[in-house]
Amino acid sequence: MLTATLRSLAAHKARLAMTGLAVVLGVALMSGTLVLTDTVGRTFDNLFSNVYAGTDAVVRSTEVVKSPFGQDQRAPIPADTLASVIATPGVAEAEPTVTGFAQIITPSGEPVGDPTGGAPSFGANWGLVTGLNPFTIAEGEPPTGPDDVVVDRASATKGGFGIGDTVTLLTAQAPRPFTVRGLATFGDSDSPAGASVSLVTLDVASELFAVPGTVNEIGVVATGGTSEDEVVAALSARLPAGIEAVTAAQRTAEDQSALGQALGFFNSFLLVFAVIALVVGAFIIYNTFSIVLAQRTRELALLRAVGATRRQVTLSVLTEALAVGVLASLVGLGIGAVTSIGLRSLLGAAGIDIPSTSIVVSPTTAAIAIGVGTMITLAAAVFPALRASRVPPIAALRTVAVEPKPPVIRIVVGIGILGLGVLNLVGGLTQGGDTALFGVGGGALLIFIGVAVLGPAFARPAVRLLAWPLPRLRGITGTLARENAARNPRRTSTTAAALMIGVALVGFIAIFAASAKASIDQIIDESFTGDLIIDSGQFVAGGVSTDLAASVKTAPGVAASTGVRFLTANLDLPESSAPAGPASNAAFILAADTTALVDITDPQPTAGRVSDLGLNEVAVASSVAESAGLAVGDTVPAQFPTGERTLSVVGTFDNRALLGDWVVDLATADAAAVDRLDVQVWVKVADGASVTVVQEELKVLAAPWPTADVLDLSEFKASQAEQFDQILNLVYALLGLAVIIALVGIANTLALSVYERTREIGLMRAVGMERRQVRAVVRWESVVIAVFGTLLGLVIGLFFGWVMVLALSSQGLGVLSVPVPTLVVVMVLAGLAGVVAALLPARRAGRLDVLTAIGSE
């Protein structure tokens, strides 16, 4: 039996290659992602342990404020802690670090790096203690005067400037010119993970970045003979409550794990697409095995007739699947390792730049890639294998394998799976929390499988209906194409289902994005009564200093304006809201001049007041207040990076879409945050003043901040849409892989069908069908299958989009917008893709030799 399996493997190399390709692509993306993680992990592990080699201990605050986005902020410590640290026995040297946001502006006025996304920009003091300073001067000198700066070499290269040039630093203070004194490296690397860094003297850093009288942390070098643990113990004994000492080893481990988390997010993002690709691949493997085994019914029946047991038949099929799976996974792993280099540039766009090093493939990665690829292939082959084992010996005597009518049970099971999928999806979306992703993902998968199970039951009439114009347009070739597509409903529907998955996700993303854009537009149209928005382009870290908002406020023609900031705080709520992740009580708080705010927006207040908030007064979105059990008059203990405050709730509002969950006044923000950076400035133009004229004036005012754009409302909407589009394009590209795999599937199915219909094609050629007509028949069949799959996909995508909008309507996604032109383009592309998928099979069909074809079995 094994010999029979191996023979059949050898006899169908081309078919196996096609089947394998479906696995190869999915495994390649998966292993590419894993290899990238291995490589990056190794690179940074080395980098961190090198740069902290001279440090023995770090003194820092114990207070950490978690951010909803995972970037934790540690509270600063009093600067005078340094004295007691130095006085501690076992401490040889100690030096504080002060860091904060700093965007470099080149001599020609351009920001270095991509301020909207990409790697972070920060500034710090130049460390004078060699062992403590992770940076090394590569060229020039360290900063000594108040106008001196040293930048990382990568930024200088990117910005096209060098030693002696004047750059401007945008910080929480007014923009300030500096002279570049030197270029530094971080370990062996030109930049720490692609971040752009400005290094200044401690005095300047304290002035620019710190709350007066504080530093971020203090690095410690122990005296010779004192171990890291000993010096930490000595420090811990002396440090006041709220300040801790940790070993450099621990600090390094924390840095590595923080980076690991950032990478992990990126990883999971990519792995989602790898899983999608693998699921599509599984459909194709299932389909190929089904078709091939149906074609080999006679051979299998003969084997059974001469005494092969069912078990042996099943095993022989699974052995074949195992061989395909292992081989394809190995190839996929190889391609993945190469792909990881390409993925690296994606990671760069996501803000982490990796110094180029050799590729690291860990044994775990290899095991996962090969294991998953093989398991999926095997799992997809199980059903066809079982079906093959049920071929009765008598089938050896029948001429053609007829596809049986789908039994009622199939319809019942299909509808069951579909229903379960919808329930899961809706449940996942409405409940939220950790399990939401599994609910949504699992629900979507079940819906796909449900439709695929139901497919054979409706594929024939659906395909006939879809292709009704073909006979009219294309005559007999059209009729033949339509009937060929309809003749094996199971084959057609499974092939189409593979394409459906990719298209459904593309359609869903397109609808989601269009709805999000439309919702933003609606929010701005309906509740933003201002006229201009100055957008710093930054969000979580960074922004523009308050000087800009201050000068805008007094500009002629401006009726009202406010700087808008976001604070992170950890709130102690009476009832913890939805079961969110570890940062469940981490909140994003919008801070604005609440007197001006009500002139520029409509907060839609529901109780108390949202305007004229005083220090430590907070307004809450009504839905948040409800789920947290808060009402006007209640207090909320809040942990800010500068310490704890008690906020009192003075009002609730409905406009969560524009203002978020929590609103405080700038007075509170000034007191509670470490630095004062406005993310945006909102402006209402005075009655009678021209918006364009005021916009021009404000552009002049904003000129010192080249990262800031002065936008009118339509420009602002467009810039928001543009940010969406960037992410969209990346997602489309990744989903493209799933679509490509599905096209390989269509090509594969067609090739198998052409092979099966050899005699028929020969007959038609004999009675006068031209080669181009043979090709046209295959091509149009392909187009019909592709369009069928695309239509199914778009319907499901539309459903996903609709459910998503329903679920997120309370969070500002209120408008369901269907981007009809995009979907039409998808449809047309699908048709063209069908043509492309048919190229090879059609060529083969056209080339069949008439006589051999007629004579073939």
Partner 1 sequence: MTTIESTTGPGTDPQPPVLAARAFDAVKVYGTGDTEVRALDGVTCGFERARFTAIMGPSGSGKSTLMHCVAGLDSLTSGSVFLGDTDLTTLRERELTELRRDRIGFVFQAFNLVPTLTAAENISLPMDLAGRKPDSAWMDEVVRTVGLADRLGHRPSELSGGQQQRVAVARALASQPEIIFADEPTGNLDSRSGAEILGFMRRAVDELGQTIVMVTHDPVAAGYADRALFLADGRIVDEMAAPNAERVLDRMKRFGD
Which tokens is 802 given?
A: 């609709």
- 403 lies in the site for partner 1, by CB under 8 A: no
573, 580 in Cβ contact below 8 A? no
Degrees to nearest 5, angle at CA 825 with 821 and 827? 115
Which tokens is 538 given?
A: 């930054």
Size of the site for partner 1 (CB under 8 A): 24
Q: Which is nearer to partner 1, 7 or 398 (CB)?
A: 398
Q: Which is nearer to partner 1, 299 or 483 (CB)?
A: 483
Which position among 307, 556, 768, 821 is part of the footprint of partner 1 (CB under 8 A)?
768
- 699 lies in the site for partner 1, by CB under 8 A: no
Q: Which is nearer to partner 1, 631 or 850 (CB)?
A: 850
Which tokens is 624 given?
A: 């948040």
In whole angstroms, give the CA distance from residue 630 to residue 627: 8
Shortest distance, position 770 Cβ to partner 1, whole Å: 5
The residue range among 179-187, 511-519, 555-563, 846-854 that interacts with partner 1, by the rule CB under 8 A, is 846-854
- 851 lies in the site for partner 1, by CB under 8 A: yes
From 500, 44, 518, select the one nearest 283 (Cα to Cα). 500
Shortest distance, position 843 Cβ to partner 1, whole Å: 15
In whole angstroms, give the CA distance from residue 841 to residue 754: 7
CA distances from 35 to 277, 333, 344, 369, 403 (A): 17, 9, 10, 10, 44
- 770 lies in the site for partner 1, by CB under 8 A: yes
Shortest distance, position 751 Cβ to partner 1, whole Å: 18
Q: Which is nearer to partner 1, 565 or 757 (CB)?
A: 757
Residue with token string 């191996």: 6
Shortest distance, position 304 Cβ to partner 1, whole Å: 25
Q: Which is nearer to partner 1, 495 or 639 (CB)?
A: 495
3-state SS track over 797-834: HHHHHHHHHHHHHHHCCCCCCCCHHHHHHHHHHHHHHH
Which position among 479, 527, 606, 642 is part of the footprint of partner 1 (CB under 8 A)?
479
The residue range among 234-242, 441-449, 454-462, 770-778 that interacts with partner 1, by the rule CB under 8 A, is 770-778
- Amino acid at site 263: L
- 765 lies in the site for partner 1, by CB under 8 A: yes
The residue range among 26-34, 165-173, 183-191, 479-487 that interacts with partner 1, by the rule CB under 8 A, is 479-487
Question: Any residues with CB less than 8 A from the CB of 847 and at least 6 apart, and which?
Answer: 771
92, 221 in Cβ contact below 8 A? yes
Residue 670's SS3 state is helix
Shortest distance, position 771 Cβ to partner 1, whole Å: 7
Q: Which is nearer to partner 1, 479 or 551 (CB)?
A: 479
- 582 lies in the site for partner 1, by CB under 8 A: no
381-395: string of b/e by CB count within 10 Å (b at 16+)? beebbebbbebeeeb
The residue range among 60-68, 309-317, 480-488, 585-593 that interacts with partner 1, by the rule CB under 8 A, is 480-488
Q: Which is nearer to partner 1, 479 or 822 (CB)?
A: 479
- 395 lies in the site for partner 1, by CB under 8 A: no
Segment 501 to 530, residues that bind partner 1, using CB under 8 A: none
Q: Which is nearer to partner 1, 312 or 773 (CB)?
A: 773
Shortest distance, position 305 Cβ to partner 1, whole Å: 23
- 850 lies in the site for partner 1, by CB under 8 A: yes
Which position among 110, 114, 244, 483 is part of the footprint of partner 1 (CB under 8 A)?
483
Element holding 724 (H helix, E strand): helix 713-756
- Can you name the residues that pair with 55 across neighbouring β-strands? none
Which position among 370, 702, 769, 805 is part of the footprint of partner 1 (CB under 8 A)?
769
- 405 lies in the site for partner 1, by CB under 8 A: no
- 306 lies in the site for partner 1, by CB under 8 A: no
Q: Which is nearer to partner 1, 451 or 764 (CB)?
A: 764
Which position among 164, 767, 820, 821 is part of the footprint of partner 1 (CB under 8 A)?
767
Segment 742 to 761, residues that bind partner 1, using CB under 8 A: 759-760
622, 652 in Cβ contact below 8 A? yes
Shortest distance, position 846 Cβ to partner 1, whole Å: 11
- 467 lies in the site for partner 1, by CB under 8 A: no
- For the chain, the C-alpha Rg in angstroms (whole number) is 32
Degrees to nearest 5, angle at CA 750 with 846 and 783? 90
- 487 lies in the site for partner 1, by CB under 8 A: yes
What phi and psi values does residue 90 have, to the nearest 5 degrees? Answer: 95, -10
Q: Which is nearer to partner 1, 254 or 770 (CB)?
A: 770
Shortest distance, position 475 Cβ to partner 1, whole Å: 6
x/- track of binding to partner 1 for residues 135-154 (CB under 8 A): --------------------
DSSP 8-state class, residue 189: B
Shortest distance, position 857 Cβ to partner 1, whole Å: 10
Q: Which is nearer to partner 1, 110 or 483 (CB)?
A: 483
What phi and psi values does residue 178 have, to the nearest 5 degrees? Answer: -135, 155
Segment 362 to 391, residues that bind partner 1, using CB under 8 A: none
- 766 lies in the site for partner 1, by CB under 8 A: yes
In whole angstroms, give the CA distance from residue 567 to residue 640: 8
Q: Which is nearer to partner 1, 306 or 767 (CB)?
A: 767
Q: Which is nearer to partner 1, 311 or 847 (CB)?
A: 847
Shortest distance, position 483 Cβ to partner 1, whole Å: 3
In whole angstroms, give the CA distance from residue 789 to residue 500: 5
CA distances from 765 to 479, 839, 844, 853 (A): 16, 19, 13, 9
- 854 lies in the site for partner 1, by CB under 8 A: yes
Which position among 475, 579, 629, 633 is part of the footprint of partner 1 (CB under 8 A)?
475
DSSP per position, 563-581? EEEEEEEEE--SS--S---
In whole angstroms, give the CA distance from residue 215 to residue 222: 20
680, 686 in Cβ contact below 8 A? no
- 709 lies in the site for partner 1, by CB under 8 A: no
DSSP per position, 540-554? SS--EEHHHHHHHHT
- 461 lies in the site for partner 1, by CB under 8 A: no
Q: At what angle do helices 436-466 and 771-808 cross, to 10 degrees?
A: 140
Which own/partner contact pairs does 711-716 have at CB distance under 8 Å and 24+ positions apart?
711/532, 711/533, 711/534, 711/535, 712/531, 712/532, 713/524, 713/528, 713/530, 713/531, 713/532, 713/533, 716/524, 716/533, 716/535
Shortest distance, position 457 Cβ to partner 1, whole Å: 20
Shortest distance, position 740 Cβ to partner 1, whole Å: 30
Which position among 365, 484, 562, 782 is part of the footprint of partner 1 (CB under 8 A)?
484
Taking the CB of residue 173, how many other CB atoms lie within 10 A of it?
17
- 771 lies in the site for partner 1, by CB under 8 A: yes
In whole angstroms, give the CA distance from residue 503 to residue 264: 27
The residue range among 119-127, 223-231, 325-333, 477-485 that interacts with partner 1, by the rule CB under 8 A, is 477-485
Q: Which is nearer to partner 1, 11 or 400 (CB)?
A: 400
- List of residues contacting partner 1 (CB under 8 A): 402, 475-476, 479-480, 483-484, 486-487, 759-760, 763-771, 773, 850-851, 854
